[in-house]
Amino acid sequence: MDLSCQKSLTFWCDDVINRAGEINAWKSPEFRHAIEATGRKKIIIAGIVTDVCLMFPAISAVAEGYDVYAVVDASGTWNSAVAEASIHRMTQAGVKVATWASVLAEVMDDWRSEHGLALGDVLGEHTSYRWVYNSFVQATNQ
């Protein structure tokens, strides 16, 4: 993804938040402040492990009124049972479970958008969406 495209995606963060030891990142005042400082109510989140680093702050943020998208295929897990249990628990709590490709497509919104073709290239390089994307490019002579 080129730098101009990255700059257009406003969820990029330049700061690393070092927590004091809170397992649930949402319980870290620095983490919460960083989220609140954006003024946004929609959060896209992934975590190192799905059942802790992703699930705990996602559920906590929903409880605080945020619209949370948990990107499960950008998060790790030990096995499919852990992934399924985490997804069920998050879904029951109101978290929207998503994949990285669906989040990218939703952010992109339109192939014809300012960065649609660049983001389409990312989809085309990493998923079977390349057939859909290539079809669009050929049909529109992009």
Q: Per-residue pLDDT for 130 more than 60? A: yes
Instruction: Give residue limits of the domains in the chain.
Output: 1-98, 100-142
Q: Can you read off the two tokens belonging to residue 57?
A: 């702050």
Cα–Cα distance between 21 and 26 in angstroms, integer?
A: 12
What the block records as the tokens of 93 is 């709590």
| Band of pLDDT at residue 3, cut at 50, 70 and 90 | very low
Q: Does this model's pTM top 0.75?
A: yes
The rounded percent of the chain whose pLDDT value lies above 70 is 85
* C-alpha 89 chain-centroid distance: 18
Q: Which of the 8 DSSP states describes residue 99?
A: -
pLDDT band at 87 (very low <50, low <70, confident <90, very high): very high
Q: Which residues are catalytic?
A: 53
Rg, the chain, Cα only: 17
Residue 49 or 109, more confident: 49
User: Is 100 or 116 the better-scoring residue by pLDDT?
Assistant: 100
Average model confidence (pLDDT) for the chain? 84
Q: How confident is the model at residue 12 (pLDDT cuts 50, 70, 90)?
A: low
pLDDT exceeds 80 at position 7: no
Q: Which fold has domain 1-98?
A: Rossmann fold (3.40.50)
